[in-house]
Structure 1
């Protein structure tokens, strides 16, 4: 079995019922050991870093005694790879799009619950984008970008005063209009929980034309 901790030796000698049941349900597979100090719900989203390792399970549905350490185990970190890998034009988000997105989400969370701290955020899929513009007067083969939007799927951890840690999943969307008129630019962001990226993309098609629009007479903005 190799060198394992005293705690794991005790687990092997007297496996807890939940571990026995998980092993029986995964013959020939493995059972992950999750650090409860890093997540709020083991049945929800679990970042890879929160997995301490896995117990190997035999074809008979019983623990083999082998424990495989997770080399990436530790405090979860931000992951904006799906955004960084994009070839889409993101200059409208500034020189550091990931930092701009993170700061905006952190601000939203703090507005919802004053003192809330964003611990980490992970972009889970390739973002969806929309870009609108008009032809250049002197070169109709190029356009002047007038509006842009992005929606991304995320999982994040937030710690709020008196509420502890909570892991949230959903989509974040950002729309900016009048990009061709810096002094008139307007931005709006949305944090939608428990929705998928297809839903967010559909909403983005509507939202990108709503930002900056003047309300009709007799209505409130």
Structure 2
């Protein structure tokens, strides 16, 4: 059973020193063939679509010649399923939460590099969510949502004229306050590179109140 779980077909083993060295380090496993059209650094994050296939390696660390093609190989696509699949209210992000978060990420990048273009974004784990609210003055059984926030771990590819293409990993956080008063709504985002989701999640509880410093009930 290889990387993609299908029966491989035999190919001539390429005389590629890097490939042979990787095989020697993975006896009994497999070595992925990365498509350089989509990924510049094979040692960083690699989306599944950027993998052409995998070479099977024998117990001695040698390529067997058996190759499994990746049926998903092609242009990497956005994946926001981990954002939208959880049963959590995202109405504060509009009718299309994935599009809203993608736009927020791209705006964060363009604030640093004006011509930055995001090629693809993948949300890597279930985000951290927080929701703040207060009881309705006329009906204590009704909770009015006054603020909300999320922290989402991502991998993305961005390109620009000056910097070329880069693959970035980090956490995008977004908080909004005064949601029960649309005209007074305030939003703020953070684009933290090289941090973990736990780190960003711990700060979300502080950030959700930074816009005005008022208190409230926070639900995880």
State the TM-score, normalizing by the size of structure 2.
Answer: 0.90
Partner of residue 178, structure 1:
178
1:192 equivalent to 2:192? Answer yes
After superposition, the Cα gap between the structure-2 partners of 1:31 and 1:2, relative to the gap in structure 1 and judged at 3 Å, is closer
> Could you tell me how far apart the structure 1 residues matched to 2:213 and 2:134 are?
18
Equivalent residue pairs, number: 207
Match of 1:58 in 2: 58
Deviates more, 1:136-145 or 1:173-182: 136-145
Q: Residues 183 and 19 (structure 1 numbering): CA distance in 2 closer, same or farther, change over 3 Å?
A: same
Distance 2:52 2:148 in 1: 41
Aligned to 1:101: 101
Pairs within 5 Å for 1:26-41:
26-41=26-41
The runs of 4+ residues in structure 1 deviating greater than 3 Å are 1-4
* Cα separation, 2, equivalents of 1:102 and 1:152: 11
CA distance in 1 between counterparts of 2:152 and 2:19 reads 35
Counterpart of 1:18? 18
> Distance between the aligned counterparts of 2:17 and 2:160, measured in 1?
33
Partner of residue 112, structure 2: 112
1:219 matched to which residue of 2? none
Structure having the higher Rg: 1
User: C-alpha distance in 2, partners of 1:66/1:109?
Assistant: 42
Which stretches in structure 2 are left out of the alignment for 5+ residues? Answer: 1-7, 215-220
RMSD: 1.5
- Aligned equivalent of 2:157: 157
Q: How does 1:114-153 map to 2 (within 5 A)?
A: 114-153=114-153
> How far has the Cα of 1:179 moved from its partner?
0.5
Residue in 1 that maps onto 2:88: 88
Deviation at 1:194, TM superposition (A): 0.2
Pick the structure with more helix per residue.
1
In structure 2, the CA distance between the partners of 1:161 and 1:213, relative to structure 1 (3 Å rule), is farther
Query: Does the CA contact (< 8 Å) of 2:26 and 2:57 recur in 1?
Result: yes
TM-score (norm 1): 0.90
